[in-house]
């Protein structure tokens, strides 16, 4: 099992910037750099990185996904700790890479090693660094969306809430069924848009019922999906990645 | 394959999404039972981790399945019962018809059995001039309406009481009412007559126990007990995997089954049947037949990738939490196994290539895994099926299925993800491309081709002018100040 032993003293982290964050919301990654720098950590960011390959993996294109996996493993295997602002991509690396590369023992072992030191952003802050208060301040009311792979595959539910509770000026209200899928599901949202949309509408309704100004999550994929419908329907609620929120100061 | 129908996923899903009555029923059902089941697992004396123990029991059982089944058969035969191992649905149906013919059966009462749906038994009986009556209230409603069950445990979940009222007025000749108690009473009266006159009872089997040599059936209406004791002949159908080695294991699975199925500690009626009535027993059939059905299960058992699927005890808990089932209901999955479990089981029991929509039409959220009393990893199996759909699989007779365009797209993608400068070039092209899309409030509101589904109900934010990695590489990076959209 990955993450069995806690690394004694991590001095440097390597950022794995999820492709969506990289392309759509660079400010979220910037905020992570800011937070880690303030915590006294050195931040590295391998510039050959691209995408974890989950999209291809979920679409059944395993050969292509394995190419992405091997690229990732080669780039990150020397890292002390790999931190990623996405539960979904972290789950891909931690759970699926070792299986995906299992047919070649050498690659399987390398994948295992990388998986064992890959962490989702909030998990790394709370479980590894033992930090809940990053000194953030934001005035408003937020509701938190549990993304599927983060909550169910990685079991990360408490960590983001602990962090949000320490944000000065922020009040957290729970939505109904916060861990109900938002309907994104990667290629699912493109292949079966009507079903995806119906599932998303329920999520949007739950968010709107809380009266919060912000919906916060740890996966930009869900957030783009949710914000996409909020925007289309003219709702004022803003979807925000937790790293971006935690970067706000008084 | 007789009873299994596939291939109308999208079409039926769309119809279901437009059916407001169905939407309300599904949502109410999931909010009630889905949540209550999770609570029931927590309240187990052993805690929710009992699910993992149950899974181990099931996997262990599968490893010695032949031995357990032989033991079960031996015990039942020892009590004068008859056991038939059917390779296919057709064999199982033929056996039922043979038994019926031998006893000049004209009327059959049925307890709920998904296996009988799987093999198309009702149609076969009807064709042989034998009237088969479903006696589970939900199944009875669905049968009267000429439909199929849309949920494993709640077969008529798609029907309102008003619809049932009109159906009963039409078919049972009673005055219209939508009072559930009055409707239940009307069904009870009609069914009582059937029970008392039936020549043969057909039931399923929720769980068999090899040690004691009996099958267990659960119901909340007492109908299965009547169907298995009143007629002269009782035929029970079981999937060959639905067995545990001993009573201790039986106890664990059995408790989880009621919780998974209906958030109950125990179903209202539990019956154990191990043969025909003994000479000193007043109740019970003169003849008891157990049909153990393979119908493609051996093939699943032989494939390590899917073997765990046979751990399933058909409680339907996954249906009560699945966001997709919660929107499209049971019919889209074809027949007879709906929901997450159906999306894996149906392709494997019928034809993976023709059941592509079942393999791809799920969000992979994993709620089914958490709700499952034996912790089935349905998302993992869906991913394995998708892989077979794309790459093809000789073992399962699946032809490679991705279109030429899709293959080209993913092969280009694979080149780009392992080469950042090519990746950047493609990003640049996409940034240029997004300039062409119509916008509203700065967001993209209409995308072309395969992306159009997204913008049917959502806007898309524009890509940033420069990616994070590109900015980092340029050395422009300093937190907050220089990262721009």
Model pLDDT for residues B218-256, shown as the tens digit of each residue? 999 999 999 999 999 999 999 999 999 999 999 999 999
Q: Is there a domain that residue B372 lies in?
A: no
Q: What is the pLDDT of residue B152?
A: 86
Question: Do residues A65 and A200 make contact, with C-beta atoms less than 8 angstroms apart?
Answer: no
Reduce the DSSP state of residue A14 to 3 states and report it.
Answer: strand
Instruction: Please give the radius of gyration of chain B, using alpha carbons only, rounded to the nearest integer.
Output: 26
Residue at a domain's end among B298, B321, B347: B298
What is the residue range of A79's domain? 12-127
Q: Is there a domain that residue A7 lies in?
A: no
Could you report the per-residue pLDDT of A81-98, keeping only the tens digit for each? Answer: 999 999 999 999 999 999
* Average pLDDT estimate for B29-34: 94
What is the residue range of B451's domain? 404-473
First-to-last CA distance in chain B? 56
Cβ neighbours, 10 Å, residue B395: 10
Question: Do residues A141 and A214 make contact, with C-beta atoms less than 8 angstroms apart?
Answer: yes
Q: Is there a domain that residue B318 lies in?
A: no
> Are B212 and B70 part of one and the same domain?
yes
What's the maximum distance between 2 C-alpha atoms anywhere in chain A? 52
pLDDT band at A250 (very low <50, low <70, confident <90, very high): confident
> Are A112 and A141 part of one and the same domain?
no
Q: Is there a domain that residue B100 lies in?
A: yes
B479 touches chain A (CB under 8 A): yes
Question: Do residues B112 and B224 make contact, with C-beta atoms less than 8 angstroms apart?
Answer: yes
* Average pLDDT estimate for B402-427: 96
Distance from CA of A71 to the nearest CA of B (A): 6
Residue at a domain's end among A74, A109, A127: A127
Contact B457 A227 (CB under 8 A): no
> Are A123 and A142 part of one and the same domain?
no
**Interface probe, candidates A46, A64, A93, chain B, greatest B C-beta count within 10 A:** A64
Domain holding B87: CATH number? 3.40.50.10420
Interaxial angle between packed helices A193-210 and A220-232, expressed in degrees from 0 to 180 and rounded to the nearest 10:
80
B464 touches chain A (CB under 8 A): yes
Domain holding A55: CATH number? 3.40.50
Q: How many domains does chain A have?
A: 2
Contacts of A84 in chain B (CB under 8 A): none
Contacts of B316 (CB under 8 A, 6+ apart): B151, B152, B153, B154, B260, B261, B339, B341
Contact B464 A224 (CB under 8 A): no
Q: What is the pLDDT of residue B335?
A: 82
Residue at a domain's end among B233, B268, B298: B298
Q: What is the pLDDT of residue A1?
A: 42
Contacts of B451 in chain A (CB under 8 A): 190
Residue at a domain's end among A75, A98, A127: A127
* Average pLDDT estimate for B329-337: 91
Interface of B with A in 435-454 (CB under 8 A): 441, 443, 445, 450-451, 453-454
Q: In A25-167, which ranges are continuous DSSP H helix?
A: 26-38, 54-58, 62-76, 87-91, 97-100, 105-116, 121-123, 148, 158-165
Could you report the per-residue pLDDT of B342-372, keeping only the tens digit for each? Answer: 999 999 999 999 999 999 999 999 999 999 9
B474 → chain A, closest CA residue:
A47
Nearest Cα neighbor of A43 from A83, A72, A94 is A83
Question: Do residues B378 and A148 make contact, with C-beta atoms less than 8 angstroms apart?
Answer: no
Look at residue B53 and tell me whether its pLDDT is greater than 70: yes
Reduce the DSSP state of residue B316 to 3 states and report it.
Answer: coil
Q: Is there a domain that residue B226 lies in?
A: yes
Q: Is there a domain that residue B121 lies in?
A: yes
Residue at a domain's end among A98, A127, A156: A127
> Are A48 and A105 part of one and the same domain?
yes
* Average pLDDT estimate for A110-134: 97
Nearest Cα neighbor of B58 from B307, B348, B261 is B307
Cα distances from B270 to residues A202, B273, B479, in angstroms, run: 38, 10, 66
Of A21, A68, A195, the CB nearest to B361: A195
Cα distances from B326 to residues B105, B146, B157, B339, B348, in angstroms, run: 40, 23, 11, 9, 23
Q: Is there a domain that residue B376 lies in?
A: no
Q: What is the pLDDT of residue B484?
A: 42
Q: Is there a domain that residue B262 lies in?
A: yes
Percent of chain B with pLDDT over 70: 97
Contacts of A64 in chain B (CB under 8 A): 410-411, 413-414
Q: Is there a domain that residue A3 lies in?
A: no
The strand pair at A42-44 and A81-84 is best described as unpaired
Interaxial angle between packed helices B247-262 and B50-63, expressed in degrees from 0 to 180 and rounded to the nearest 10:
120
Of B125-129, B231-235, B377-381, B403-407, give the lowest mean pLDDT range.
B403-407
Give the strand order in the sheet containing B269-273: B243-244, B207-209, B214-219, B269-273
Could you report the per-residue pLDDT of B287-296, keeping only the tens digit for each? Answer: 999 999 999 9
Of A123-127, B63-67, B156-160, give the lowest mean pLDDT range.
B156-160
> Are A106 and A142 part of one and the same domain?
no
Q: What is the pLDDT of residue B1?
A: 41
A64 touches chain B (CB under 8 A): yes
Q: In B145-291, which ranges are continuous DSSP H helix?
A: 161-171, 180-197, 223-229, 247-262
Look at residue B5 and tell me whether its pLDDT is greater than 80: no
Q: Is there a domain that residue A95 lies in?
A: yes
> Are B294 and B409 part of one and the same domain?
no
* Average pLDDT estimate for A120-147: 97
Q: How far apart are CA A33 and CA B427, in angstroms?
A: 23
| Beta-bridge partners for B219 | B269
Contacts of B450 in chain A (CB under 8 A): 190
Q: What is the pLDDT of residue B283?
A: 87
Q: How many domains does chain B have?
A: 2
B363 touches chain A (CB under 8 A): yes
A102 touches chain B (CB under 8 A): no
Contacts of A51 in chain B (CB under 8 A): 417
Look at residue B282 and tell me whether its pLDDT is greater than 90: no
Q: How far apart are CA B206 and CA B214, in angstroms?
A: 11
Could you report the per-residue pLDDT of B441-454, keeping only the tens digit for each? Answer: 999 999 999 899 99
φ, ψ for residue A168, nearest 5 deg: -60, 130
Of B324, B386, B472, the CB nearest to A45: B472
Domain holding A232: CATH number? 3.40.50.11810
Of A64, A68, A180, the CB nearest to B323: A180
Distance from CA of B360 to the nearest CA of A (A): 7
pLDDT band at B478 (very low <50, low <70, confident <90, very high): low
Could you report the per-residue pLDDT of B93-152, keeping only the tens digit for each? Answer: 999 999 999 999 999 999 989 999 999 999 999 999 999 999 999 999 999 999 988 888
* Average pLDDT estimate for B22-49: 94
> Are A182 and A80 part of one and the same domain?
no
> Are A72 and A163 part of one and the same domain?
no
* Average pLDDT estimate for B309-329: 97
pLDDT band at B275 (very low <50, low <70, confident <90, very high): very high
> Are A110 and A143 part of one and the same domain?
no
Look at residue A193 and tell me whether its pLDDT is greater than 50: yes
Helix (H) or strand (E) holding B417: helix B404-417
Interface of A with B in 34-53 (CB under 8 A): 34, 37, 45, 47-51, 53
Distance from CA of A77 to the nearest CA of B (A): 15
Look at residue B455 and tell me whether its pLDDT is greater than 80: yes
Look at residue A2 and tell me whether its pLDDT is greater than 70: no
Asked if the peptide bond before residue B336 counts as cis, ω within 30 degrees of 0, the response is: yes
Angle (nearest 5°) at CA B259 between B254 and B265: 80
Q: What is the pLDDT of residue A239?
A: 98
Contacts of B464 in chain A (CB under 8 A): 23-26
A60 → chain B, closest CA residue:
B387
Q: What is the dihedral of CA B12, B13, B14, B15, to 10 degrees?
A: 50
Cα B415 → chain centroid: 39
Q: Is there a domain that residue B92 lies in?
A: yes
> Are A156 and A50 part of one and the same domain?
no
Contacts of A225 in chain B (CB under 8 A): 458
Q: Is there a domain that residue A1 lies in?
A: no
Could you report the per-residue pLDDT of A3-19, keeping only the tens digit for each? Answer: 544 555 899 999 999 99
A4 touches chain B (CB under 8 A): no
Cα distances from B233 to residues A160, B104, B115, B202, in angstroms, run: 60, 11, 18, 9
Q: What is the pLDDT of residue B485?
A: 40
φ, ψ for residue B418, nearest 5 deg: -105, 15
Residue at a domain's end among B265, B298, B331: B298
Nearest Cα neighbor of B109 from B223, B205, B216, B218 is B223
> Are A164 and A102 part of one and the same domain?
no
Contact A194 B441 (CB under 8 A): no
Look at residue B483 and tell me whether its pLDDT is greater than 90: no
Question: Do residues B138 and B164 make contact, with C-beta atoms less than 8 angstroms apart?
Answer: no
Of A25, A181, A186, the CB nearest to B323: A181
Percent of chain B with pLDDT over 90: 91
Look at residue A65 and tell me whether its pLDDT is greater than 70: yes
Contact A21 B468 (CB under 8 A): yes
Distance from CA of A130 to the nearest CA of B (A): 23
Contact A23 B467 (CB under 8 A): yes
Interface of B with A in 401-420 (CB under 8 A): 402, 410-411, 413-414, 416-418, 420
pLDDT band at B312 (very low <50, low <70, confident <90, very high): very high
Helix (H) or strand (E) holding A135: none
B1 touches chain A (CB under 8 A): no
């Amino acid at each position: 099992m990955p993450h069995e032993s806690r690394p004694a003293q991590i001095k440097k982290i390597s950022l794995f910037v999820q492709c969506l964050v990289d392309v759509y919301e660079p400010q979220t990654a910037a905020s992570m750099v800011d937070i880690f720098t303030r915590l006294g950590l050195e931040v590295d960011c391998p510039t050959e990185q691209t995408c974890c390959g989950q999209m291809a993996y979920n679409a059944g294109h395993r050969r292509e996904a394995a190419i992405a996996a091997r690229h990732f493993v080669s780039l990150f295997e020397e890292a002390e700790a790999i931190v990623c602002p996405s539960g979904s991509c972290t789950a891909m690396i931690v759970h699926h890479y070792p299986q995906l590369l299992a047919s070649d023992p050498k690659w399987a072992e390398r994948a295992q090693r990388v998986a064992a030191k890959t962490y989702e952003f909030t998990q790394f802050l709370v479980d590894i660094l033992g930090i809940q208060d990053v000194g953030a301040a934001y005035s408003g009311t937020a509701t938190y969306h549990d993304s599927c792979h983060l909550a169910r595959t990685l079991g990360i539910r408490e960590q983001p809430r602990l962090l949000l509770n320490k944000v000065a000026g922020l009040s957290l209200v729970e939505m109904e069924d916060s861990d109900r899928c938002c309907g994104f599901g990667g290629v699912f949202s493109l292949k079966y848009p009507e079903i995806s949309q119906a599932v998303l509408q329920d999520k949007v309704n739950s968010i709107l019922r809380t009266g919060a100004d912000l919906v916060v999550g740890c996966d930009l994929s869900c957030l783009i999906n949710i914000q996409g419908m909020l925007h289309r329907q003219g709702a004022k609620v803003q979807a925000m990645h937790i790293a971006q929120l935690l970067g706000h100061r008084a | 394959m007789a009873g299994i129908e596939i291939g109308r996923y999208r079409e039926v899903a769309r119809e279901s999404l437009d059916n407001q009555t169905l939407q309300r029923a599904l949502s109410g059902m999931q909010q009630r039972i889905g949540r209550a089941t999770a609570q029931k697992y927590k309240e187990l004396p052993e805690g929710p981790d009992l699910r993992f123990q149950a899974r181990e029991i099931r996997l262990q059982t599968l490893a010695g399945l032949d031995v357990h089944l032989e033991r079960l058969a031996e015990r039942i035969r020892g009590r004068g019962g008859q056991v038939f191992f059917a390779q296919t649905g057709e064999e199982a149906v033929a056996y039922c018809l043979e038994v019926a013919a031998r006893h000049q059966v004209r009327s059959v009462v049925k307890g709920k059995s998904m296996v009988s749906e799987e093999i198309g038994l009702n149609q076969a009986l009807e064709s042989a001039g034998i009237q088969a009556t479903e006696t589970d209230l939900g199944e009875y409603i669905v049968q009267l309406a000429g439909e199929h069950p849309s949920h494993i445990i709640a077969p008529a979940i798609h029907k309102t009481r008003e619809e049932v009222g009109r159906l009963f007025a039409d078919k049972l000749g009673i005055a219209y009412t939508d009072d559930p108690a009055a409707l239940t009473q009307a069904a009870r009266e009609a069914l009582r007559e059937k029970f008392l006159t039936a020549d043969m009872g057909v039931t399923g089997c929720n769980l068999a126990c090899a040690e004691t040599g009996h099958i267990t059936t659960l119901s909340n209406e007492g109908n299965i007990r009547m169907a298995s004791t009143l007629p002269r002949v009782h035929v029970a159908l079981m999937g060959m995997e639905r067995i545990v080695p001993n009573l201790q294991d039986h106890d664990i699975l059995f408790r989880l089954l009621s919780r998974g199925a209906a958030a109950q500690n125990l179903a209202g009626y539990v019956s154990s049947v191990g043969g025909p009535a003994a000479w000193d027993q007043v109740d019970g059939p003169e003849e008891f037949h157990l049909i153990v059905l393979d119908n493609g299960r051996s093939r699943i058992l032989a494939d390590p990738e899917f073997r765990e699927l046979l751990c399933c005890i058909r409680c339907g808990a996954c249906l009560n939490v699945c966001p997709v089932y919660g929107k499209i209901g049971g019919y889209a999955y074809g027949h007879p196994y709906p929901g997450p479990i159906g999306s894996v089981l149906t392709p494997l029991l019928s034809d993976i290539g023709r059941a592509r929509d079942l393999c791809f039409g799920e969000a992979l959220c994993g709620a089914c895994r958490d709700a499952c009393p034996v912790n089935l990893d349905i998302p993992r199996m869906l991913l394995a099926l998708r892989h077979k759909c794309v790459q093809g699989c000789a073992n399962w007779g699946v032809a490679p299925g991705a279109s030429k365009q899709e293959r080209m797209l993913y092969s280009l993608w694979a080149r780009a993800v392992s080469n950042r400068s090519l990746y950047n070039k493609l990003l640049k092209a996409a940034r240029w491309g997004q300039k062409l899309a119509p916008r509203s409030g700065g967001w993209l509101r209409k995308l072309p081709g395969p992306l159009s589904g997204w913008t049917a109900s959502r806007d898309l934010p524009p890509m940033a002018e420069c990616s994070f990695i590109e900015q980092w590489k340029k050395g422009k990076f300093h937190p907050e100040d220089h990262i721009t959209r």
